[in-house]
Amino acid sequence: MELRPIKIGKHTLKYPIIQGGMGVGISWSSLAGSVSREGALGVISAIGTGYYKNRQFVTNSQFGRPATAKEFHNREATFQLFKDARAICGDAPLGANILHAINDYDRVLRDACEAGADVIITGAGLPMNMPEYAADFPDVALAPIVSSPKALRLIAKRWEQRYKRIPDAIVLEGPLSGGHQGFTYDQCVDPVYALENLIKPVVEEAKTIGEIPVFAAGGIWTHDDIKKFMELGASGVQMGTRFIGTIECDVPDVYKNLLISCKESQIELFHSPVGYPARGVRTKFIEDMSAGKTLPIKCVSNCVAPCKSGEEARKVGYCIADRLSDAVEGKLDTGIFFTGSNGHRIDRLLSVKELMTKLVYGEDK
Ligand SMILES: Cc1cc2nc3c(=O)[nH]c(=O)nc-3n(C[C@H](O)[C@H](O)[C@H](O)COP(=O)(O)O)c2cc1C
């Protein structure tokens, strides 16, 4: 199948592939810049940016961590991330991913727009007020992540009523994706909620609203997978995990090697203080935690609203800001390493260019 250019709002992607935003620190300037340079949409994760470049933009720390959401989701670091990515991709379309569940969501969204994002993608909650926060940036395309036609309906209804605007694109994320899920544990393993079964109703719903491209996400790995979901009605795909297996991905080798060595049976869902099940690698740290051996939870960064300043973290046994940032700093003993259900399929690192050639033309080209 020939992959053709696609428009998201005012921006045209050469290929209908979005590299999913991966926080903390997984899709930063190197990965996102390289993906955009190769004609897909590179997406910078704009959360936890205080950890960029060894926390050099953080002016207020406690226990070695960025103190407060303002320092954790750091404006100056976000600007530097975009500058560094632009040095790689020039003026090719470049996106930002911002979880709706974070504290300071509105401010972080404005920061990303000001820093030069062309597309903002938001999941982990229904971004009902997204157009309000982006009102000063009419060229920035807005793309919510949904997991059901109902969620799309609710968002679109509110946006039309309040802002006379419809989403510029939709990412439909199924239950094989990495990190946080838009489903309960039971739904994640129920075939009713498989991406293959969600795509048609969501595409139908999108058609009733307007001309909205739907990007399917979760477990997509090869050109044939892309073809399959586009034949089922998607306009394109969003892929996360496979991009971790690239030379340019921003995480240290510890993270990449963990995925290269991990087995399918080691990838599982666990609780998260964000309030959704999250998928990652079962490391010794996860085993210890499940056995009740937890680390102190201080809530220095106050990162996500549903955690209620550490209340949920204490319930599930870990602070998500501290554990994800330890992963991105290569700390195997205390990090939590998110992955999609296909993480075990990474067997060696490819350049983004090589990977894009495989995705666009098929594995053998
Ligand atoms: C390590 C990791 C971190 C992620 N972090 C985020 C995030 O911060 N925000 C978000 O919207 N999605 C996040 N995701 C989801 C991806 O953007 C993507 O939609 C999803 O992983 C697609 O499934 P795949 O990994 O099987 O390709 C993350 C995924 C992974 C693997």
What CA–CA distances, in Å, run from 112 to 106, 109, 171, 336?
Answer: 10, 5, 19, 26
For the chain, which ranges sit under pLDDT 50? none
Q: Is 272 in the pocket of ligand 1 (CB under 6 A)?
A: no
Q: Is 45 in the pocket of ligand 1 (CB under 6 A)?
A: yes
Q: Whose CA is nearest to atom 17 of ligand 1?
A: 20
Q: Whose CA is nearest to atom 15 of ligand 1?
A: 178
CA of residue 161 to ligand 1 center, whole Å: 30
End-to-end C-alpha distance for the chain, whole angstroms: 13
Tokens 């390493």, residue?
337
Q: Which atom of ligand 1 is nearest to the CA of 19?
A: 17
Q: Is 177 in the pocket of ligand 1 (CB under 6 A)?
A: yes
- Tell me how far the alpha carbon of residue 25 is from its chain's centroid: 10
What CA–CA distances, in Å, run from 116 to 91, 110, 279, 298, 319?
Answer: 10, 10, 30, 34, 30
Q: Given this model, what pLDDT does residue 307 score?
A: 82
| Degrees to nearest 5, angle at CA 144 with 361 and 274 | 110
Q: Given this model, what pLDDT does residue 304 score?
A: 81
Q: Whose CA is nearest to atom 5 of ligand 1?
A: 22
CA of residue 178 to ligand 1 center, whole Å: 5
Q: Measuring CA to CA, which residue among 279, 113, 100, 35 is closest to residue 180?
A: 279
Distance separating alpha carbons of residues 214 and 231, to the nearest angstrom: 12
Q: Given this model, what pLDDT does residue 273 score?
A: 87
What CA–CA distances, in Å, run from 206 to 118, 134, 222, 234?
Answer: 22, 22, 25, 11
Q: Given this model, what pLDDT does residue 365 score?
A: 58
Instruction: Tell me, yes or no, if the pTM score tops 0.85.
Output: yes
Q: Given this model, what pLDDT does residue 48 score?
A: 95
Tokens 């079964």, residue?
197
CA of residue 327 to ligand 1 center, whole Å: 15
Burial (0-12, 13-18, 19+ Cβ within 10 Å), 166:
middle
Distance separating alpha carbons of residues 79 and 222, to the nearest angstrom: 33
Q: Is 174 in the pocket of ligand 1 (CB under 6 A)?
A: no
Q: Given this model, what pLDDT does residue 159 score?
A: 97
Domains of the chain (ranges; CATH) run 6-59+69-252+342-361 (3.20.20.70), 256-328 (no CATH)
Alpha helices in 238-283 (DSSP H): 241-244, 253-261
Burial (0-12, 13-18, 19+ Cβ within 10 Å), 28:
buried
CB atoms within 10 A of CB 261: 12
Tokens 């940032």, residue?
325
User: How is residue 182 written in tokens?
Assistant: 């838009």
Distance separating alpha carbons of residues 352 and 250, to the nearest angstrom: 12
CA of residue 22 to ligand 1 center, whole Å: 5
- Tell me how far the alpha carbon of residue 47 is from its chain's centroid: 10
Most informative mutation of 22, 242, 251, 270 for ligand 1 (most atoms within 8 A of CB)? 22
CA of residue 149 to ligand 1 center, whole Å: 20
Instruction: Quote the DSSP letter at residue 50.
Output: G
Most informative mutation of 27, 72, 225, 241 for ligand 1 (most atoms within 8 A of CB)? 241
Q: Given this model, what pLDDT does residue 113 score?
A: 98
Count of all residues that appear for the chain in the document:
365
